[in-house]
Amino acid sequence: MLRQVIGLSLLLYSTFALCAGHSSNWVALNELGFFISELRAMPVGTDGNATCPSNVSSLQGFTRNEVLKALGSPDFDEAEDGGTGISYFLTPTEKPLPKDEDGIVHFRVEGTFPVVSFDFDAQGLSIASCLERYRW
C-alpha cells in the first residue's frame, strides 16, 4: 500500500512539474531545497559533506520569489544592501545567522563549504552559480 501511495505521489509530482514548464529545472530546484533543509537540520559544526550541485545549470530561469519559496530564507541576501542576489551556504549553520549591533553577520566554523548563489537578470530570472568558499 505504501509503495502505491509513493508511486502515485511521484506520478502526480511529475505531472505537475511537466505542466509547470521547464520540469527538470523545477525538480533540480526542489531537490536543492530538500538538501538545504536537511543540512539546516544538522547540528552546527557538523560536516555535511556537501558539494556543488552537478546540475547547477538547471537552476536558471526562476524568479526570486520562486527560489525563495523552494529554498527558504537565504543565508545571505543582497536586498539588505539594495541588490537582488541571494546565497545559500551548503553547510549546517545557525539559523538565523547571528548579527552584531551593526547588522553584520558573523559565524565561525572550520573547513570549506559550497555556496549556491542566485543573481537575477533584467527580466528578473535567475542565473545560478556554485563556488567552494572558505569559512572564516
Q: Is residue 82 part of a domain?
A: yes
Residue 109: per-residue pLDDT: 54
Determine, yes or no, domain membership for 129.
yes
How far is 6 from 54, CA to CA, in rounded Å?
26
Within a domain: 13: no
- Does 78 reside within a domain? yes
pLDDT tens for 93-134 read: 666 566 677 766 665 555 678 899 999 999 999 999 998 875
Exposure string of 69-81, with b = 16+ CB inside 10 Å and e = fewer, is: ebbeebbeebeee
In a domain, 51, yes or no: yes
Quote the pTM value. 0.72
- How far is it, in rounded angstroms, from Cα 60 to Cα 26? 10
In a domain, 7, yes or no: no
Domain that holds residue 65: 23-134
Instruction: Provide the pLDDT for residue 81.
Output: 80
pLDDT at 27 over 80: yes
| Residue 49 banded pLDDT, cuts 50, 70, 90 | confident
Q: What is the pLDDT of residue 1?
A: 47
Q: Return the pLDDT at 55.
A: 85
- pLDDT tens-digit map of 57-104: 899 999 999 999 999 999 888 887 888 899 998 888 666 566 677 766
**Which amino acid, one-letter code, is at 107?**
F
Report H helices in the chain: 2-19, 23-41, 64-71
Could you tell me if residue 18 is inside a domain? no
Nearest to 77 by CA among 88, 62, 61: 88
Whether 40 has a pLDDT exceeding 50, the answer reads yes
Q: Give me the pLDDT at residue 135, please.
A: 56
- For the chain, what is the domain count? 1
